[in-house]
Homo-oligomer: A and B are copies of this chain.
Amino acid sequence: MGKAAISIPKGTRDFLPEEMQRRKHIFNTIEGVYQKYGFLPIETPAMEQMTTLTGKYGDEGDKLLFRILNSGDFLSKADPALLEAKDARGLAPQIAEKGLRYDLTVPFARFVVQHRNELTFPFRRYQIQPVWRADRPQKGRYREFYQCDADIIGSDSLLNEAELIQMIDEVFKKLGIGVHIKLNNRKILAGIAEYLGKPEKLNDLTMALDKMDKVGTEGVVTELMARGFLKEEVARLLPLLAVDGSNAEKIDKLGAFLKESTLGTQGVEELSLVFRYLEGSIPKEVLQADFHLARGLDYYTGTIMEVVATDFEMGSLCGGGRYDDLTGVFGFPGLSGVGMSFGADRIYDVMMGLNLFSTQIRTASRLMFVNFGGEEEMESLRWLRQIREEGIASEIYPDQAKVKKQMAYANALHIARVAFMGEEERAQGLVKLKEMESGEERLLALPEIITLLKQ
């Protein structure tokens, strides 16, 4: 057994303790809010049948699925003609019948259908697990990353949208990130297409509007013309995109434009009700009606939402929306719902960029005993046991090494306080406590240490 190469697959990451603690802070915050709103946890396996995964993410998505080679003699069932032709694409389904999940939505849909008789609807679930995509790795894009999803399925009530938005607001407030939560409704976009007399061009309209943030109004106009909208149609659109004022004013103005469109009016009413549910609970400057928010093409059918940081340049930190049919592809149509997903990696980058991780989030020891060996070590252990019994994370350096080495360890781990139980201290029934930042030293009794550390 020779030396093995030391590397991990490209696009994957090791997480060291400090990064883990910061990541845990994000995940724990999200999970805490999910739980406070009564959402229930589920988990699904990393591997799914390839038949569950393929055809759900488009042709491009299918290519990004990681396949698991069948165990044992995986070639026994392979078509010899395909083998001879070296037809990788044709062979893959024969030699690799399982794959790694690509997102949490398709496994969730499969889960709901498979367990529909064990679930209580409306079903409010959250799921925080890694997903895998064979994407070309680049800055901020990984082949393994966590998704943090929450969905409510089996309820058409717009109260669900309002709850998700409250949860979003609460998560970012707790993390200390200033955000705008942008809201729109796919029915409004359909109404706008109708208003322009081009209901059949909804997709083109949506794709052009989706670029507003990147290319501005002029760019959108160019894009619309390229997609076959006439000059006068674009001219009719501009006032709709320019509606301003408070959210209520914007909704009123747009409602007036779309009053002839049944779908458009329905969208405006839905959006309006979501705002009404949220009155007094979300600051006005956070929540914004945004009629060019599009969020991709398929899937969503009602409310759509997206979150961006106000003080840091970064894509969407969280997004979601309402869908009419989550589970139809698995033979159980008509189950609607609304959901959202936090992008933990982007949130991490924003928090690093804005220096938002306090040292308080560290889960490491808050006190370390220096190890002097012998009876002093034994006495330190007795103290340590009582300090830990109070739930205080703490440790003793395991070896009777040079004090300098032990202090360097405490320093490297950012342990704020170090306790010295030397011969003299032991005789007095005290320890010398050193504050690592100020260098201040005091002689303290056990109850005093516990009181201090519990503050």
Contact = CB atoms under 8 A, between A and B. Distances in A.
Contacts of A364: 35, 38, 40
Interface stretch (A69-77, A224-232, A283-291): A69-77
A218 interface: no
Report the interface size class on chain A.
Answer: 35 or more
A299 interface: no
Interface string A102-114: 0000000011011
A141 to B, nearest CB: 15
B36 A391 contact: yes
A162 B385 CA distance: 12
Given A48-B9, A152-B398, A155-B398, A75 B68 contact: no
Nearest to A123: B17
Contact of A388 (B36, B76, B113, B363): B36
Contacts of A266: none
Contacts of A413: 40, 120
A354 interface: no
A350 interface: no
B330 A3 contact: yes
Interface in A95-144: 95-96, 98, 100, 110-111, 113-115, 118-122, 124-125, 130, 132, 134, 143-144
Interface string A25-53: 00000000001111011111111110110
A50 to B, nearest CB: 10
B399 A144 contact: no
A114 B20 CA distance: 17
- Closest A-B pairs by Cβ, 3 of them: A38-B395, A12-B45, A38-B365
Contacts of A121: 409
A364 B83 CA distance: 53
Q: How many copies does the complex hold?
A: 2
Interface stretch (A85-93, A178-186, A192-200, A441-449): A85-93
Given A14-B111, A396-B159, A329 B20 contact: no
Given A6-B110, A364-B38, A395-B38, A16 B73 contact: no
A261 interface: no
Q: Which of A9, A80, A143, A277 has the most CB of B within 10 A?
A: A9
Given A3-B329, A14-B115, A120 B48 contact: no
Nearest to A68: B66
Contacts of A38: 364-365, 368, 393-395
A431 B172 CA distance: 31
Contacts of A118: 16
B36 A15 contact: no
Interface in A257-292: 277, 280-281
Contacts of A114: 6-8, 14
A332 to B, nearest CB: 9
